[in-house]
Chain A
Amino acid sequence: MVTDDRTALVEMRNVRVAFGGVHAVEDVSINLFPGEVVGLVGGNGAGKSTLMRVLSGARPADDGEIWIDGKRATINNPRQAKAYGIETIYQTLALADNIDAAGNVFLGRELTDRTGTLDDDAMEAATRAVMKRLNPNFKNFKVPVKSLSGGQRQSVAIARPVHFNARILIMDEPTAALGPAETAQVRDLIRQLKSEGIGIFLISHDIHDVFDLSDRISVMYHGKRVGTVNRDEVTADEVLGMIIMGQAAEETAEANAAAN
């Protein structure tokens, strides 16, 4: 693993998750520093989403530790993860289709007045402010998100971590449903958030996305971490080789990393 003098923002140690007999994540360790993008790649079913769901509190690990800012962290549910500043854009977006944009951005963290009444106007105002930055063309604030386009829905999902000032951002296939223009927008956003010192785990099946945006790339294969490489020290083909060949590619990649 890459060593660094700074304290890691996130360190996941020896994480293990099994679904019945399926070892979705096996003894995986991974870390992330402030202002860094770590790309997480691997074939379908490699365990990328499951690993990240452990960090976001969606599915507690069967074994392993999570350290945040150098301290042992307890994350058993999404609420606890959010308290550590961990925000997630899920592959499925996790939107309630019947609720409008502001309702989704604030889902589970609604603003209320003194009497406990929902302050829908304040939530809409905050959502409009975030959207001005993310997607200035977004106009449909009063309709259920079901009636929005794929790109607009994605904007709503992205508005959530931006509004709540994520320190640690997990993006699971954030551009999968997007056209070229919207993909470019998301890429710009990732660069901007990174420059603000946010640490980002980026899962993507698009190796070029990952190569353009990441500082380091971790490759998973059948639930195991095959290796972690510095972006500048490998070629896309080498990473592809690791993704496809798994174990076999590990030696070459880690040898590469060690040589530098």
Chain B
Amino acid sequence: MRAVNAILSAISAPVRSFLAATEIDTRLAGMIAALGVIWIGFNILSGGLFLSSRNLWNLSVQSSSIAIMATGMVLIIVSRNIDLSVGSLLGFLGYTMAMVQAMWIPTALGLGFNQPYTWIVAIAIGVTLGALIGGLQGFVIAYGGVPAFIVTLGGFLIWRGLIFWYAQGQTIAPMDSTYQLIGGGPAGSLGAELSWLVGILASLGIAYTVIMGGRRRKAYGFPVRPRWAVITVIAAGSIAALGAVWIANNYFWPPALATQYAQAHGITEPPGGLQISTGIAFPVLILIGVTLAMNYLATRRKFGRYVYSIGGNPDAAELGGINVRRTIVGTYAVMGILVAISGAVQTARLNAAVTNLGVQNELDVIAAAVIGGTSFSGGIGTITGAVLGAVVMQSLRSGMVLLRVDSPTQDIVVGIVLVAAVGLDAFARRRSSR
């Protein structure tokens, strides 16, 4: 055992000093490494299918719905609570948004289908309702003193049950034509040029943040990262952003759809068919926006600071004059908003609201947050980690689908990975705290 430890520290010493200089989170770096291993492993096993543009593009779309919600679950678990209701709430809000656009606006109000405002009204109603319902659950937890587990278990039953009051088990379809785009697909994607623009803006954003942050610290006379580390971070970030765009742009519209498009626009198809770049899908764009916003909320706003301090030491937060209860209500309201956004993505993607909408999502969302390094003992967890956790989970599932592993076996593997990830994390933490 001692020999193993010695070898481990001999290997990890240079890695650790690199991470320290670049100020990259060790846990995050570990997750990216694990993701790399999973991707390369599946690629070899699937004979190169896994790392194809097509599969990676699909992976990005499939991950986004769970990832959006996982960013909110981080704040809830960090403040020592839990939300078991997200799957049912997603079903309920998804149904509500579907009813608004497929029945209430067109038929009940007699305004007709596919109005230009329909999609935004549907989403606004979903998001508002999500914030209210989430806030209500948070209120009962924080002010009513009922444990979060119980309140959200109740929510799990209640919101699912309400769907049947609405729709008596019917599927609601189709969705508004603009609303459908939120779900992704060839039409619901940015295309080549706009995707490159996003990639370039992302690279510039990374460079700006890193350089300005360093400058401010220097002005204060604080220690700053060495120049090579700054360049490494900017380069790595830009390569990741532009690489992702390149991959998304290398996934082309299905031939039938491209032919349709060519005919509609009077373009003569070149031999081998017209190649139209799909680019970044809208759900992924939404995920990027949510991740940025949630990161800002968690690390750069008082609200986020309070959430983490409550998780680290509730007494200290209270003695610091923080309104702990109001902060808890806030975390659940934010969760409700994110559930509504995910609900819009899922119903748009399905082009329908179906009764099992969101079933088991709560488990995937919690698993994503936990695989992403969020700790149930409170105070620890990052937004970016949770997004990566969602991608890890979806990678496992999608890889196993490529390898024709049946669904029950997939569940078994994901279950094992979940427990192993937390076990490994606990082990690493014990080692580092010695």
Contacts and interface: CB of A to CB of B under 8 A. Distances in A.
A110 B305 contact: yes
A98 B308 contact: yes
B379 A98 contact: yes
A219 to B, nearest CB: 26
Contacts of B217: 121
A97 B312 contact: yes
A94 interface: yes
A144 B316 CA distance: 14
A116 interface: yes
B380 interface: yes
Interface string B294-309: 0010011110010011
Contacts of A147: 433
A108 B317 contact: yes
A18 B309 CA distance: 29
A107 B220 CA distance: 21
A205 interface: no
A29 interface: no
Contact of B220 (A95, A109, A124): A124
A108 B322 contact: yes
Interface residues of A, number: 32
Interface string A118-153: 100100110010000000000001001001000000
Contacts of A98: 308-309, 311-312, 379-380
B39 to A, nearest CB: 31
A94 B302 contact: no
Contacts, number: 80
A127 to B, nearest CB: 11
If over half of B's interface residues share one DSSP class (helix, strand or loop), that class is named, otherwise mixed; here it is helix
Interface residues of B, number: 26
B269 interface: no
B220 A94 contact: no
Contacts of B311: 98
Interface in A78-114: 78-79, 82, 88, 90, 92, 94-99, 103-104, 107-110, 112
Contact of A58 (B296, B299, B308, B319): B319
A77 interface: yes
B318 A78 contact: yes
B16 interface: no
B308 A99 contact: yes
B302 A112 contact: yes
A96 B317 contact: yes
B222 A108 contact: no
Nearest to B220: A125
A125 B222 CA distance: 8
A117 interface: yes
A173 B316 CA distance: 17
A96 B308 contact: yes
A233 B343 CA distance: 75
A103 B305 contact: yes
Interface of B: 216-217, 220, 222, 296, 299-302, 305, 308-309, 311-313, 315-322, 379-380, 433
Given A110-B302, A116-B302, 7 more contacts: A88-B319, A94-B320, A103-B305, A108-B321, A108-B322, A112-B302, A118-B300
3 closest A-B pairs by CB: A108-B320, A96-B312, A98-B379
